[in-house]
Amino acid sequence: MGVWSGPPRNRPTISPNGGEGWLPLVIRKRLAHYNAGSRESNTGVPYRTRARFFDYNLAMLRRNLIAAVLAVTLAWPALAAGAPEPEEFNNDVASRLLQQVTQGFITNNQGQVLAAFDAARMKNYTQLRDDIVTLFARYESFRAAYRLRQSWPQGQHGVVIVEFELEGTPLNEGALPFRRSAQLRFEFERGRKGWRIVDVAPRRFFS
């Protein structure tokens, strides 16, 4: 009985020129992809494809960034030239804020009233705030009106003298209505958010 000297039975042979014909088809495909520089990742997306996609996105990002910088650079002179001058104190400034206060009372909106005052620049603001909050807690509706008498600038501030009227209908039956009329002095100052009221006298009017 002779001895088998060839390759093992049922096993493909490696080709003499170093080929890989004996490897399974799946492995041969993977080797071909690897040798071509496009081996597949676990997600099934070829590395070369992902690299090209990344390079494309990076190029688009650079292009958009350069376009944005150029647009801002070209538009800046026009924007700077068109920037509005800071609003000087005048009767319109005073009337706008006083109207905000009266409308806040009329519409029963204490937030609107308090927003007319500058909490950071006004001395004893918390006391005024508490007095106004108490008024809204005691009265269900208000009638408010003012009449501008005098106004003038005072350094960085503005000052007005007004006739102010305020009436309130109490929440509790049998309680007396709230009625006040007095000459008030309001002081205004311009801050980051524009003009705001920084003082009112006498303060007891709202207590």
| 3-class DSSP string for 45-104 | CEHHHHHHHHHHHHHHHHHHHHHHHHHHHHHHHHHHHCCCCCCCCCHHHHHHHHHHHHHH
Share of the chain above pLDDT 70, in %: 64
Distance between CA atoms of residues 180 and 161, nearest Å: 16
Residue 112 included in any domain: yes
**Residue 123 pLDDT greater than 70, yes or no:** yes
Give yes or no: residues 123 and 178 share one domain. yes
Give the count of domains, the chain: 2
Q: Tell whether 72 and 107 lie within a shared domain.
A: no
Q: Are residues 95 and 75 in the same domain?
A: no
- Per the domain annotation, does 66 fall within a domain? yes
Full residue range of the structural domain in which residue 46 is found = 25-81
Taking the C-alpha atoms of residue 98 and residue 118, their distance in angstroms, rounded to an integer, is 13
Provide the whole-model pTM: 0.60
| Separation in Å, CA 140 to CA 165, 201, 206 | 17, 25, 16
Structural domain includes residue 8: no
- Of 183, 184, 186, the C-alpha closest to 198 is 186
59 lies in the same domain as 122: no
Q: What is the pLDDT of residue 62?
A: 72
Residues 178, 155 share a domain: yes
Mean pLDDT of 124-129: 97
Same structural domain, 145 and 98: yes
The more confident residue out of 193 and 102 is 102
Q: In 10 A of CB 95, how many CB atoms?
A: 15
50 plus 106 within the same structural domain: no
108 and 140 co-located in one domain: yes
How far apart are alpha carbons 188 and 97 in whole angstroms?
9
Structure confidence by residue, pLDDT tens digits, 25-81: 655 655 565 555 544 455 555 555 656 655 666 677 777 778 776 766 666 565 555
- Stretch (H or E) spanning 163: strand 157-170
Question: Quick check: 133 pLDDT over 80?
Answer: yes
Q: pLDDT tier at 125 (50, 70, 90 boundaries)?
A: very high
Please report the pLDDT score of residue 80 as a whole number.
52
> Are 95 and 66 in the same domain?
no
